[in-house]
Amino acid sequence: MLTNFAALEVGQHLYWQIGNIRLHGQVFLTSWILLGALLVFISLGTKKMENDPKGLQNLLEFLWDYIRDLARTQIGEKVYRDWMPFIGTLFLFVFVSNWGGALIPWRLIKLPSGELGAPTADINTTIALALLVSLSYFYAGLSNKGWRYFEYYVHPTPIMLPFKILEDFTKPLSLSFRLFGNILADELVVGVLVFLVPLILPIPVMFLGLFTSAIQALIFATLAAYYIGEAVEEHH
Amino acid sequence: MLAFNFFGATEGGLFDINATLPLMAIQVVALTYILNSLFFKPVGNVVEKREKFVSNNIIEAKNKLSEVKKLEADLLTQLQSARTEAQRIVSEAENESDKLYKEALELANNEANASKEKARLEIESQTSAARDQLSKQADDLSELIVNRLILEK
């Protein structure tokens, strides 16, 4: 029973077949549960908004302020408002996914194949997020500066052109693999330790995992905001 | 157990990329809109309203404070001028009384001098009158003595 509880399953998925497309069911299951919890939490907190914040509203306002500061410092005073919901959603999604994956004992729920875990430990999720960031900064640059956005590629000298083009590929790559690698590695380390020594020893690593999870969410949101800020920045 | 099935896997693997990716992207975009209307907008409205309220109050308080300072300065100058005015009145009164005192003193002195002079003159005239009378009496007496002496002879 214990070995079953602690068994490692890497790279196995719960496949859903819809027509001829295949989905990783466990990713959607956990993400729906976690996002549902997040939405319930937010609905409860914003149900009765008062000028004198109490309880949940206080926490949500703190969160809002935190996200605003993040967006404002990275994107700049002028357009941070347009991008704050996106940056905040990225932060909340990654944070809730990471922590949800680390805190909830998903392994207790048996699936026919694969296992439940952090949605961000699946490469599809992180690539989806990273590509959204790429699309966003292109859109932000083009909508704010028009064709002048491409001046960015030859700024400060045209020698930068190949590197800047390369960056457009390395940005989503590094974003997605950083998040994916960190969360998967954390799950694997905890899984292996639980498998080897099921008592006490994994606890510090679990705490480290919580720390890493929070940091990764912050890093992802900060970098996304930074890329958008870079795209809308005016060169003089 | 550790099934590392890399790229090109038909079934499973860590890097098994399939329709999960676009669907997850759509889900995140939808989440962005939901969170925007459920969280970012309402909380933002409340927080910004409060921030505006607080900053308005601060500006108002600052205005009031500067007004108070202005009034205080006004009052201070008024107080200052009142003080100098009072000083002036006091010194004027002092001068006045001094002058009156001096005048009265002079008047009294003059009067005293005059009566002294008068008395002196009177004394002098009386003295000379007395001296005249005395010398006349002496003359009379000497004449009387002379006459008596002559008659006796």
The string of pLDDT tens digits covering residues B42-92 is: 999 999 999 999 999 999 999 999 999 999 999 999 999 999 999 999 999
Its pTM stands at: 0.77
State mean pLDDT over B9-26. 81
Which among A24, A46, A88 has the least Cβ separation from residue B42? A46
User: Closest chain A residue to B31 measured between Cα atoms?
Assistant: A89
State mean pLDDT over A208-212. 92
Contact B39 A42 (CB under 8 A): yes
> Positive or negative, the Cα torsion across B62, B65, B69, B75?
positive
| Residue at B4 is within a domain | no
Give the pLDDT confidence score for residue B25 in this predicted structure: 95
Contact A128 B28 (CB under 8 A): yes
Please say if the pLDDT value at position B132 is more than 50.
yes
Range of the domain at B99: 36-119
Please say if the pLDDT value at position B118 is more than 90.
yes
Work out the pLDDT band at B11, boundaries 50, 70, 90: low
| Residue at B62 is within a domain | yes
Please say if the pLDDT value at position A2 is more than 70.
no
Is B42's Cβ below 8 Å from some Cβ in A?
Answer: yes
User: Closest chain A residue to B2 measured between Cα atoms?
Assistant: A10
Identity of residue A23: L
Asked if A229 and A70 count as a contact pair (C-beta separation under 8 A), the reply is no
| Residue at B93 is within a domain | yes
| Residue at B1 is within a domain | no
| Residue at B149 is within a domain | no
Number of domain units in chain A: 1
Is B20's Cβ below 8 Å from some Cβ in A?
Answer: yes
| Residue A165 distance to chain B (closest CA, Å) | 24
Mean pLDDT of chain A: 89
Is B2's Cβ below 8 Å from some Cβ in A?
Answer: yes
What does the alpha-carbon distance between residue B16 and residue B37 come to, in Å, rounded to a whole number? 34
pLDDT digits (tens, 9 = 90+) for A87-109: 999 999 999 999 998 888 888 88
What does the alpha-carbon distance between residue A215 and residue A194 come to, in Å, rounded to a whole number? 23
Enumerate the residues of chain B whose CB falls inside 8 A of the CB of residue A8: 1-2
Work out the pLDDT band at A197, boundaries 50, 70, 90: confident
What does the alpha-carbon distance between residue A222 and residue A96 come to, in Å, rounded to a whole number? 16
Please say if the pLDDT value at position B31 is more than 90.
yes
| Residue at B144 is within a domain | no
| Residue at B95 is within a domain | yes
Percentage above 70 pLDDT, chain B: 92
Q: Is A189 exposed, middle or buried (0-12, 13-18, 19+ CB in 10 A)?
A: middle
Contact B42 A49 (CB under 8 A): yes
Which among B20, B29, B46 has the least Cβ separation from residue A24? B20
Contact B28 A35 (CB under 8 A): no
Number of domain units in chain B: 1
Percentage above 70 pLDDT, chain A: 96
> Positive or negative, the Cα torsion across B12, B16, B22, B25?
positive
Range of the domain at A222: 2-232
Please say if the pLDDT value at position A194 is more than 50.
yes
Asked if A182 and A212 count as a contact pair (C-beta separation under 8 A), the reply is yes
- What count of residues does chain B have? 153
